[in-house]
Amino acid sequence: MKEIEIHTFSALHELIETYDARTVIYRGMKSIKFPLMPKIGRIVPPQSIHSREANEKEILRLFKERALRFLDFIPTNDWDWLALGQQYGLPTRLLDWTDNPLVACYFAVEEPTEDDSVIYVYQNKSYIEVEKYPDPLRYNKVGKFIPKHLSPRITTQGGLFTIHPKPYEPFEVEDMDKIIVPNGIRRTLKKTLNKYGVDRFSLRVAKSWVNKVFDVGLVSWEQLLVKLSAIERKHEQLYCTL
């Protein structure tokens, strides 16, 4: 992975000009210290769930059961369910990307940090034909896809996703550049992006409503799964006594 440090917006623009817009996608992260790893890879399963894989399936199953009343459409496959959950804070094996470098730059500098920020540039020509692979959790290669149901937020942000068969390992490949944004220019870059109309309002940045879906307060996913598992066991015991 090649690392490139920029010091001005003009330098970023000149660098972006060297990439092929037909094949490249971008991801901005506020801290260079954060690993490029899906959220599910940072979740430790509760003791009641015997493996990470089972933990991931359980999270998706519970989300599908409880999210329906909040939706104005029903996803037709698990790829779309994963993408929907990813949009709103569910831990999945997906990573969010955009085909718009200004959007990626904004997410790199949006929130305050004392660290340098980073924009990842991933070059990948092909898209997954999701119809051929009904179970995304069994897809065994890193690949990119666009969900069928595009929310206004995804459309505005030029959003798409990559799926990672090894979500517990940082994603590092040769076909990727790492653009380092020094901390000292983050504020200037954010002001420049605002002048171009790239801000929270134009990008429709949404807060997570996953906790609302599960009707709980702000808790860890470990606590959430333990709580929901206990509720389901009570329901099963009640059913068995009828």
Please state, in angstroms and rounded to a whole number, the distance separating the CA atoms of residues 97 and 170: 16
Residue 30 lies in a domain: yes
Q: Which is more confidently placed, 218 or 131?
A: 131
pLDDT of residue 85: 86
Query: Residue 56: phi, psi to the nearest 5?
Result: -65, -45
pLDDT at residue 74 tops 90: no
User: SS3 of 163, please?
Assistant: strand
Average pLDDT over residues 10-27: 95
Tokens at residue 5, please? 């440090």
Range of the structural domain that residue 38 is part of = 2-215
Amino acid at 241: T
**Domain count within the chain:** 1
pLDDT at residue 93 tops 90: yes
Dihedral of CA atoms 231, 69, 71, 217 in degrees, nearest 10, equals -50
Report the chain's terminal Cα–Cα distance, integer Å: 61
pLDDT at residue 152 tops 70: no
Report field, pTM of the whole predicted structure over 0.95: no
Tokens at residue 241, please? 């006594």
Residue 230 lies in a domain: no
pLDDT at residue 221 tops 90: no
Average pLDDT over residues 224-241: 45
> From the CB of residue 212, how many other CB atoms can be counted at a distance below 10 Å?
13
Cβ–Cβ < 8 Å for 147, 80: yes
Residue 17 lies in a domain: yes
Residue 128 lies in a domain: yes
Rounded alpha-carbon distances, angstroms, from residue 5 to 32, 34, 92? 12, 17, 30
**Nearest alpha carbon to residue 122 among 153, 87, 164, 93:** 164
H or E element: which one contains 123?
Answer: strand 117-123
**Nearest alpha carbon to residue 83 among 101, 64, 58, 106:** 64
> From the CB of residue 24, how many other CB atoms can be counted at a distance below 10 Å?
20
pLDDT of residue 148: 78
Range scoring the smallest mean pLDDT among 8-12, 41-45, 83-87, 132-136: 41-45
pLDDT at residue 225 tops 70: no
Q: How confident is the model at residue 121 (pLDDT cuts 50, 70, 90)?
A: very high
Residue 229 lies in a domain: no
pLDDT at residue 86 tops 50: yes
Cβ–Cβ < 8 Å for 98, 25: yes
Residue 33 lies in a domain: yes
Instruction: Find which of 27-41, 59-73, 138-152 is predicted with most confidence, using mean pLDDT.
Output: 27-41
Dihedral of CA atoms 59, 73, 206, 148 in degrees, nearest 10, equals 90
Average pLDDT over residues 194-210: 71
Tokens at residue 149, please? 């149901």
pLDDT of residue 226: 52
Q: Which residues make beta-bridge pairs with 56?
A: none
Residue for token digits 């906790």?
211
E strand residue ranges, 18-68? 24-29
pLDDT of residue 51: 78
Residue 78 lies in a domain: yes
pLDDT of residue 70: 74
Average pLDDT over residues 195-223: 60
Q: How confident is the model at residue 52 (pLDDT cuts 50, 70, 90)?
A: confident
Residue 227 lies in a domain: no
Q: Phi/psi class of residue 208: alpha, beta or left (left: φ > 0; alpha: ψ in -120 to 50)?
A: beta
User: What average pLDDT does the structure give for the chain?
Assistant: 82
pLDDT at residue 128 tops 60: yes
pLDDT at residue 168 tops 60: yes
